[in-house]
Structure 1
Amino acid sequence: MRRSLALRVGTAAAVMAVAVAGVALSLNTASAQSNAATGYASQNGGTTGGAGGQVVRATTGTQINQALCNRASSSTPIVIQVEGTINHGNTADVSGSSCDVGSTLIDLKGVSNVTIVGVGSGAVFDQIGIHIRESSNIILQNFTVKNVKKSGSPTSNGGDAIGMEGGVRNVWADHLTLEASGGEAEGYDGLFDMKNDTEYVTLSYSILRNSERGGLVGSGDSDTGNNYITYHHNLYQNLNSRIPLLRAATAHSYNNHFVGIVESGINSRVGAKIQVDNNYFEDSKDPIGTFYTDLRGYWEVSGNVFDNVTWSAPGTDNYPAGPNVQSTTSVSIPYSFALDNANCVPSVVAATAGANKGLKTSDGSCSIQSPTASPTGNPPTSPTASPTENPTGGPGGTNLSLGAGADGSSKASGTSYGNVIDGSTSTYWSPSGTTGRVSVKWGSATTIDTVVIREAADAVGNIDNWQLVNNANGAVLASGTGAGTISFPATSLTKVNFVIVTASGTPKITEFETYA
């Protein structure tokens, strides 16, 4: 009989507190991260999502559906930046030849080359799940999915936070927070499920917590057509089991932190093979083995830490790997990966895993690194930018505004020109009215070809028309509406002006970044 979900305290609560402490950070706190999928999602041609495609902004589920349905085809690349709360109340069905969507879930059906990424102050899918079927080359990044139910009200996606089935290939799920508030009796199912021919999937730097079921690979013992899954740098907290339940597939689990696991962790069954490297299992029961069946699975283990772990006695339908954990197979991993020492995994995962952590990662030596290039693919290359073409990440390279000077035409009380070049999105400049100029200047000629204008979350969209001007000769380098990433021919100058021509509200510019 399954035991009910047990909410943990002590060490588990401490880890949760560390994770929650990072929620105030947004994607804007980092310049960006490499758009390079890791693990098995990097195989089979790789996973790039909507890189190179149109970038659109969505604050409702309906707008997400519209973005999918308004493409030229179901394979036209697209990056959908999501901010705010997506729920049943703001999600409506939309018609179109390039989509098959619905009103009770975010349905990625029969599509390819799609990125959905949380931006700005963050994105939360509240009681509405994400379903991927008959689709390929999908990136899901930097958002929360919570409290998706299969019974009660409202219901969505069969109770799965994220579910994949029916010929799915190449999915990278990264920096997500997936959570429930109980188990099946309370109406919830899995947090991250794969079934019916799903292959080449990576779940990285994510949090899965407070659920009876973490996730499965294969819906039943006859569903053996799923394969090649990587799980790394995830926090599994206060889960009963299925972390994962693995049927027949080949998988790789490394540098994950398992804490407060109630019944069982990695459950390898039906001939499945999993390589288990440098994980940290803490305050948990039966972290590895074959459970609830006599159809055995296998594991290769190396470098793991078992801290306050208990093991059940072997018996019918119960084959724990411990307490003397030994490998029972060997697994050939086709991609390269760098392993953090297991002893530092709790601190590394606490600093990096989950949504709104600035997309930070580990460098493989127990050190945290900030992102370096856009997770949403290539930024727009036209000399104008609009609110729907505004990736919150910037181009790779050095922000030349750091260490430069700044001035302007006016500044509102409590704001400063220097706030736009201080590298912090928590400070900003505003003009004394709704229009004005702010400038970045250097002591010697500097060549730039890209500017990123970042706005405070409560002022996004206030800027209507703007010009980017070479202060020396008055040449207009670019003009447009909104704000964001602005590209133009490389220009050598000593001062560049961002001139707000018209605005519908008070502008708040947090950063004026410049790049070559």
Structure 2
Amino acid sequence: MRRPVAWRLLAAGATTAATAAIGVALVIPHASAATGGVTGYATQNGGTTGGAGGQTVHATTGTAIHAALCARASSSTPIIIQVEGTITVGNTTKVSGDSCNTADGVIELKQISNVTIVGVGAGAVFDQVGIHVRESSNIIIQNVTVQNVKKSGSPTSNGGDAIGMESDVHNVWVDHDTLLASGGEDEGYDSLIDMKADTNYVTVSYDIFRNSGRGGLVGSSDSDLGNGPVTYHHNLYENIDSRTPLLRGGTAHIYNNYYVGLTKSGINPRAGGKAKVENNYFKDSADVLGTFYTDLLGYWQVSGNIFDNVTWTSPGTENHPAGPNPQSNTTISIPYAYTLDGASCVPTIVSQMAGANKGLQVSNGSCSPQTPTTSPTSRPTTSPTTSPTTGPTQPSGTNLSIGAGADGSGKASGTSYGNVVDGNLSTYWSPSGSTGYISVKWGSATTVSRINIREASGATGYIGSWQVLNADTGAVLTSGTGAGVITFPSTSLKKITFKINSSTGTPKVAEFETYAG
């Protein structure tokens, strides 16, 4: 079967109107990605290198990601897909070809191998679009944000999982990503990362899992016991109800993770599942380890963990907590080399290094960060620039925010939404966590083409990746990193939102200024 002309031109490295229209900016022959940081079980079974040694393609839409996969010589030809911008259901369509098997409304990595998807430049946000890995191997997903993927409501994608792996998947590395939801099943979400139906040799490292009813599972039912082994290390789990992970039958090595705000249960090995749980820090949480909601027992080996304000329920027929004084009930041999950080420094180093747009920093085993000597997150210098203009220059004209209303996501104690529209740099709004959103609103349609996000004194540089949204329609007006002056096409709206997707500290927005020009 011959590929369509646009895909053949892309494979040859030509820049065409067809490739520009789907969001492919550049093809660079024979570039490589930095994969030396892979650790854990993904190093076994032949290792995990993703698209190392293949072409590097820059993509700004989901359709462009699919097109890059379909343009390869074969389904196993290595490729590195650098992603920048916001991927949505609306810009993610099925593309056909001999080397791919894609679908609308989801990033479909099906029946393929040797692929790296990595966020670059101003960042990559998969907004309400999940990543589905099926019948595939040697996959790296790195430095991206996947948020608010739903299984019910509109739009839906990937069964409600941010990242899902199923049906003969092996050697996958999920690294330095931020996976977010805005609630549990009642709000239409499922899981942040699921592995089922023979998913093996996976490492999940330096990721953020936040605001979800379910963190993730290994094994979809008590009869789906052929999954794993999986390594989880240096991840942040925050405000999660349960499943960090739920482990059915498989083996997991779980070390140096930071768990805060687990409301129902945490690491849950069952049906013979085994977890080696080392040097983790559990804070302000309930039932962080044990077999829960079943009488099919699992097992654990524990050492070096810190339990800070952890509560435990009483044992029962289907409730088998490991605490209040967790003891090992099995031993697990780990086949690879690794270095443990002390549990006492885990909150600090994980908060600093985990998640997208943090520079891919990793720990050196001494509670100190290291930055990779080569970075796969740099945008190609010859690619056209589409990032918004930001900078310290104060815009001219009238600040339309003065006298307007304001609201947003959760706010930290002592801060207020109204502080961002009061013209006073000594007052500010902070989200209740490290990310959140703040909005300015008017009683009638107002034309805006420029905003100025001004951070409070002593908190400059904390804001990482962000999006500016037309809150009337939900449309993304622009995206980027860092505070300052941001421009976008002139838009008439009643409400505009500045959404912080990552940060290096608690953001403090002193003023959210808006201007017509």
- Give the TM-score category using the shorter length: 0.5 to 0.7
Task: State the secondary structure of the residue aligned to 2:310.
Answer: coil
- Aligned partner of 1:346 in structure 2 is 347
Matched-pair identity in %: 69
Q: Structure 2 matches for 1:152-231, cutoff 5 A?
A: 152-231=153-232
Question: Is 2:233 the counterpart of 1:237?
Answer: no
Unaligned runs of 5+ in 1: 1-31, 389-423, 425-455, 458-516
What residue identity is the alignment partner of 2:228? N
Distance 1:211 1:258 in 2: 13
Taking structure 1 as the reference length, what is the TM-score of the superposition?
0.67
| Structure 2 CA distance for partners of 1:109 and 1:264, relative to 1, 3 Å | same
CA contact (8 A) 2:253 2:276 kept: yes
The separation in 1 between residues aligned to 2:94 and 2:185, in whole angstroms, is: 28
Counterparts of 2:377 and 2:259, CA distance in 1: 29
TM-aligned CA deviation for residue 34 of structure 1: 4.8
Match of 2:325 in 1: 324
Name the residue aligned to 1:387. 383
What is the one-letter code of the residue matched to 2:49? T
The Cα offsets for residues 42-85 of structure 1, whole Å up to 9 and x where unpaired, read as 11110000000000000011100100001000000000000000
* Structure-1 separation of matches of 2:208 and 2:315: 30
Matched residue SS, 2:239: strand
Q: Give, as a single letter, the amino acid of the residue that structure 1 aligns with 2:305.
A: N
Q: 1:60-139 alignment to 2 at 5 Å?
A: 60-139=61-140
Aligned partners of 1:80, 1:340: CA distance in 2, in Å?
Answer: 32
Contact preservation (8 Å) 1:33, 1:370? no
What is the one-letter code of the residue matched to 1:36? Answer: G
Tell me, what secondary structure is at the counterpart of 1:124?
strand
Q: What is the distance in 2 between the residues matched to 1:92 and 1:216?
A: 28
Give the equivalent residue in structure 1 for 2:141.
Answer: 140
Note the alpha carbon deviations across 1:307-331, whole angstroms, 9 max, x for none.
0000000001000000111000000
Give the structure 1 partner of residue 372 of structure 2. Answer: 371
User: Is contact 2:166–2:197 with CA below 8 Å preserved after alignment?
Assistant: yes
Deviation at 1:374, TM superposition (A): 3.8
Distance 1:107 1:147 in 2: 17
In structure 2, the residue matched to 1:262 is 263
Aligned pairs for 1:225-304 within 5 A: 225-304=226-305
**C-alpha separation in 2, matches of 1:262 and 1:336:** 33
Q: Give deviations 1:255-314, integer Å, cap 9, x for gaps.
A: 000000000000000001110000000000001000000000000000000000000000
Per the TM alignment, residue 371 of structure 1 is displaced from its structure 2 partner at its CA by: 1.4
The aligned amino acid for 2:189 is Y
Letter in 1 for 2:196: K
Displacement of 1:36 after TM fit? 3.5
How far off its partner does 1:33 sit? 5.2
Q: 1:425-447 CA deviation, whole Å, 9 max, x = no partner?
A: xxxxxxxxxxxxxxxxxxxxxxx
CA–CA distance in 2 between the matches of 1:215 and 1:199?
15
1:130 touches 1:163 (CA, 8 Å); kept in 2? yes
Q: Tell me the C-alpha RMSD between the 2 structures.
A: 2.2
Is 1:195–1:218's contact at 8 Å kept on the other side of the alignment?
yes
The C-alpha deviation readout for 1:405-450, integer Å capped at 9, x for no partner, is: xxxxxxxxxxxxxxxxxxx9xxxxxxxxxxxxxxxxxxxxxxxxxx
Does the 8 A contact of 1:267 with 1:288 survive in 2? Answer: yes
In the TM superposition, structure 1's runs of 4+ consecutive aligned residues that sit over 4 Å from their partners are none
Quote the residue 1:393 is aligned against.
none
Conservation of the 8 A alpha-carbon contact between 2:121 and 2:377: no
| Cα shift at 1:239 | 0.2
TM-score (norm 2): 0.67
Matched with 2:20 is none
For residues 45 and 332 of structure 2, the distance between their equivalents in structure 1, rounded to whole angstroms, comes to 18
SS in 1 for 2:103: coil
Rounded to whole Å, the distance in 1 between the matches of 2:376 and 2:312 is 41
SS at match of 1:64: helix
Tell whether the 8 Å contact from 1:44 to 1:200 is kept in structure 2 after alignment.
yes
Query: CA 1:35–1:44 in 2, change beyond 3 Å: closer, same or farther?
Result: same
Name the SS of the counterpart of 1:215 in structure 2: strand
> Counterpart of 1:38?
39
Cα distance in 2, alignment partners of residues 195 and 376 from structure 1: 30
Q: Which amino acid is the alignment partner of residue 180 of structure 1?
A: A
| Unaligned 5+ runs, structure 2 | 1-32, 385-460, 462-480, 483-517
Q: Give 1:35 shift.
A: 3.1
SS of 1:123's partner is strand
Q: Which amino acid aligns with 2:208?
A: I
How many residues are matched? 358
Q: 1: distance between equivalents of 2:270 and 2:344?
A: 28
Cα separation, 1, equivalents of 2:159 and 2:69: 22
How much has 1:376 moved relative to structure 2? 7.5
